[in-house]
Chain A
Amino acid sequence: MQQAIALSAPRETRRQQHFGDPIFAVLATLSGIFVLLLMGSLILSLFIGGLPAFRRFGIGFLFSAEWDPVHEAFGAAVSVYGTLLTATLALLFAVPISFGIAFYLTELAPSWLRRPVGTAIELLAAVPSIIYGMWGFFIIVPIMSQYVEPTLIDTFDGIPVLEDLFAGPPFGTGLFTAAMVLAVMVIPFIAATMRDVFETVPAVFKESAYGVGCTTWEVMRSIVLPYTRVSVVGGIMLGLGRALGETMAVTFVIGNSDNISGSLFSSGNTIASIVALEFPESPAGSLKLASLLALGFILFVISFIVLAISRTLLRPRLKV
């Protein structure tokens, strides 16, 4: 009897172990598959939700600038234009600054300063987007309307194309301000990625360049940048992906209107901002809600493409 118990105990454990392994493996694999299903159902739910709008307006939905809830005529052109314009403009501001920060952090800063400054920049990425919205609305908008926009309007007055770009009453809100706030929000992402990428350059390469008498800038331009070019573009695309889908901050400062005007100072909207604003007035099952979901689908497709490119470019260099 005694012996039987002693014998059966290890066998029992072995059986448990025997079962434990496949169960755990299946559980892990199923979790992996779950993520795929999650993404799949996300795309599908947006597409199915937007189907009534796609059916009603067809491909014209993409190109129609109309947004008329009364007559139930909806089009994506204004918000797609706003989304692409603000995100691109934001990158125009953000990329040089991010590059400067990354350059400073990898080559110029004394080593004791690198970590605190790097952390501070990363904290900028952690600030919630609603805070950027409030900060933009209460701090940046007044600065824009009182100083920046009047100055720009005066400066470019009389210069053919720029005159039209920087025209209109300086309200402070609008596409231009939205792009500025977006730029601030994506700087930490781009800067941190660029820094990580720059750090992958083998020290020997840089040391040899310094050894033949290159200045710091020449090392950056002729050694580091060519070596990391692809990943730097990947980092910029990552910032673009973030900027495209940013909601709360943009909603606060873009001014929200349904028109396209040539001026950067005019108000507009982005896909994310129009969805956030119009959603409460869109009853379930309405064509308006379907149009918003269709907009969501379009935004998803755009950001998916951008993020996929970004990841493909970054993956070989960084384990991102």
Chain B
Amino acid sequence: MSASTSSVELHPGPAKDLAVARSLGRRRHRTNLIVKTLCVTATALGLLLLASILFTLLWNGFGGLSLSVFTNTTKPPGSNGGLLNAIVGTLIQTGIGTLIGTPIGLMVGTYLAEYGGHSALSNAVRFVSDVLLSAPSILIGLFIYQLAVEPFGGFSGIAGCLALAVLVIPIVVRTTEDMLRLIPSSLREAAIGLGAPKWKVIVLICYRAAKDGIVTGILLAIARIAGETAPLLFTSLGNLNWSVSLGAPMASLPVTIYQYAGSAFEDWVQLAWVGALLITVGVLALNIAARVALRGRS
């Protein structure tokens, strides 16, 4: 007790002088208030930015929204073109990209959660998958260009699908692994106790229990690739004519937006805004759906 008293007395200000203590307290609370205000401002700024983006899109895109956007293909400036081929192209490439990437991602996630443990191989896979998750998507485009465009002599829809599939894999890996790890081992043990082989336990028990989480991952992956532009520039290239052939260059909303937004024609810029509105609404809706799917579970 005496020791602590003496240490307080060694302290110069507060304990002795009430005025000093008060001013110190005031200063501390003032600093606190300033920091708090700055933090609220930062958050408000973040929300304001989101609002500004959404408002800009609605303001510029909503006016151009009409039926012809969905029924007409892209046409030369001034002839009432639409975005039909771009929308269909995006749906095709996103769909096939997801179909290719999801099973692979699912299996990798399964490997990491159920088989790999913390072996050197699984640590390496986890590391590479994590890096791939944040790697610049334009490089994926260059990679697929080298792999599937140059050797086959031309840009093609299928190359675009492949580029998007590469982007899907790490997203699905991450959510699948996380979700499988959340499943209580008692569930697995119960199934194994009944004599089920491991693969049946995984497919029939674990996948089913982790379904919501895995679906969330897939939805997030779709949302991510639907808005990707850079990897498509070098693979499916974009196409101003109607084409659903996977062997030919294929249009997509983001690439069309990119081509139109920089053009000098007013109706093209208008269509770019409409496309931007459509893609953003779609992507944000998918994100919110994914969150709702997951929340229903937890």
Contact = CB atoms under 8 A, between A and B. Distances in A.
A38 B124 CA distance: 13
Interface stretch (B53-61, B65-73, B209-217): B53-61
Contacts of B147: 41, 45
B99 interface: no
A104 B39 contact: yes
Contacts of B116: 29, 32
A76 interface: no
Contact of A129 (B31, B57, B134, B229): B229
Interface of A: 17-18, 20-21, 23-25, 27-29, 31-36, 38-39, 41-42, 45-46, 48-49, 96-101, 103-105, 108-109, 117, 119-124, 126-135, 137-139, 184, 187-188, 191, 215-218, 220, 238, 241-242, 244-248, 252, 272, 275-276, 279-280, 284, 292-293, 296, 299-300, 303-304, 307-308, 310-311, 319-320
Given A128-B229, A299-B136, A293 B146 contact: yes
Nearest to B287: A126
Contacts of A48: 146
Contacts of A42: 139-140, 143
Interface in B30-77: 31-32, 35-36, 38-43, 45-47, 49-50, 52-53, 56-57, 60
Interface of B: 28-29, 31-32, 35-36, 38-43, 45-47, 49-50, 52-53, 56-57, 60, 104, 107-108, 110-112, 114-116, 121-122, 124-125, 127-132, 134-140, 142-143, 146-147, 150, 166, 169-170, 173, 178, 197-200, 202-203, 223-224, 226-230, 233-234, 254, 257-258, 261-262, 272-273, 276, 279-280, 283-284, 287-288, 291
Given A101-B39, A134-B257, 7 more contacts: A20-B200, A97-B42, A100-B43, A104-B40, A133-B261, A217-B36, A310-B134
A241 B138 contact: no
A111 B29 CA distance: 23
Nearest to A23: B199
Contact of B41 (A100, A137, A244): A100
Nearest to B122: A32
A134 B276 contact: yes
A300 B139 CA distance: 7
A67 to B, nearest CB: 18
B227 A128 contact: yes
B147 to A, nearest CB: 6
Contact of A300 (B122, B135, B200): B135
A44 B39 CA distance: 45
B143 A41 contact: yes
Nearest to A273: B138
A253 to B, nearest CB: 12
A218 B32 contact: yes
Nearest to A306: B134
B136 A303 contact: yes
A163 to B, nearest CB: 28
A311 B115 contact: no
A21 B135 contact: no
Contacts of A103: 35, 39
Q: Please give me the 9 A-B residue pairs with the lowest Cβ-Cβ distance, nearest first.
A: A245-B136, A128-B227, A100-B42, A24-B199, A31-B107, A28-B111, A215-B32, A247-B230, A100-B39
23 contacts: A17-B197, A23-B199, A28-B115, A32-B121, A38-B132, A42-B140, A100-B42, A104-B42, A119-B291, A124-B46, A124-B50, A126-B283, A127-B53, A128-B227, A131-B227, A138-B60, A187-B49, A245-B138, A247-B136, A272-B136, A279-B234, A311-B127, A311-B130
Contact of A17 (B166, B200, B280): B200
